[in-house]
Amino acid sequence: MGGHVTGDRGSGAVLHRQPAWTQLAVLFRIEMTNWRWGWSGMLLRGVLTPLLSLLALGVFARDAGREAVIYVVTGNVVVGLLFGTMDMVQSHITFLRFDGAMDYFATLPIDRSLLIVAMAAAFLLLSLPSLLVTLVVGPALLALPVHVSPWMALVVPLCTIALAGVGGLLGLIGRSRNESLNLGFVATLLLTAAGPVVIPPERLPAFMRALGTVVPSTYAASAFRQTLIGPVTGALARDLAVLAVVAVVSLWVVGKRMAWRAES
């Protein structure tokens, strides 16, 4: 991918890294190439899953009032962006580890955290049809007026990257392929249930509302409610700050923990 190389690794050579944007662009192309055979299935699942979820939950939400409808629509978006990306990054890292594919990236002069960012960017592109189905069909199906804010252009990518680092960590700490996948399932289940994501806060037990204050999905859902339905308040700055901190910290930890096999 670039980077001038002098000598070889065994002779103590120095691999000169390209600028971060160049690394990210090349890694993004690599990630998109990985899905050239499976993208159609991902798109099909990405469209059908939120649509069926909206149809099922919408039946109950209509009877529960407008607030419940808002939470169903925005919650579906958050689950797809946050946890869909987290799961895909986690499963992809698991594949790289246990199938020996990490050796390839060990030969490249890249920053480890940028590999996770490239994965998240690729999965965001592949998840756009799901996002559009939810944002267009959901409000129309449930008769919910929307007032899209320009801030959504920042909320969408930030929600995508926020838990990508967490997915990378889950893929790294599993001692086996099955253990790694199970960790991802449990994390998705707990983070989805904790806090007012799909369900309004007044319908949750007190301990779940309290737990929701420390999970990023709560702040992602809040950001989407403000930028999709309105109004945008000062809470949006808090939500974006929390998501940014989670993204930066988790990517930093992944960069420190991820070890190329060739370097071990």
**Has residue 209 got a pLDDT over 80?**
yes
Examine residue 95 and state whether it is found in any structural domain, yes or no: yes
Confidence of residue 226 (pLDDT cuts 50, 70, 90): very high
Q: What is the pLDDT of residue 109?
A: 82
Examine residue 8 and state whether it is found in any structural domain, yes or no: no
Query: For the chain, first and last CA: distance in Å?
Result: 22
Examine residue 259 and state whether it is found in any structural domain, yes or no: yes
Examine residue 7 and state whether it is found in any structural domain, yes or no: no
**Has residue 41 got a pLDDT over 80?**
no
Low-confidence winner among 26-35, 184-193, 198-207, 236-245 (lowest mean pLDDT):
184-193
Q: Which residue has the tokens 């009032």?
A: 65
Examine residue 11 and state whether it is found in any structural domain, yes or no: no
Amino acid 223 reads: A
Q: Over the stretch 85-143, which tens digit does the pLDDT of each residue have?
A: 888 888 888 888 888 777 787 777 888 888 888 888 888 887 777 777 777 777 777 77
Q: Over the stretch 63-85, which tens digit does the pLDDT of each residue have?
A: 667 788 888 888 878 877 777 78
Q: What is the pLDDT of residue 60?
A: 64
Question: How many independent structural domains does the chain possess?
Answer: 1
Phi-psi region of 100 (alpha: psi -120 to 50; beta: other; left: phi over 0): left
Number of H helices, E strands in the chain: 12, 0
Examine residue 175 and state whether it is found in any structural domain, yes or no: yes
Which of 86, 75, 60 is closest to 134 using CA atoms?
Answer: 75
**Has residue 3 got a pLDDT over 60?**
no
What mean pLDDT do residues 29-38 have? 78
Domain region containing 198:
19-263
- pLDDT greater at residue 227 or residue 108: 227
pLDDT > 90: what percent of the chain?
11
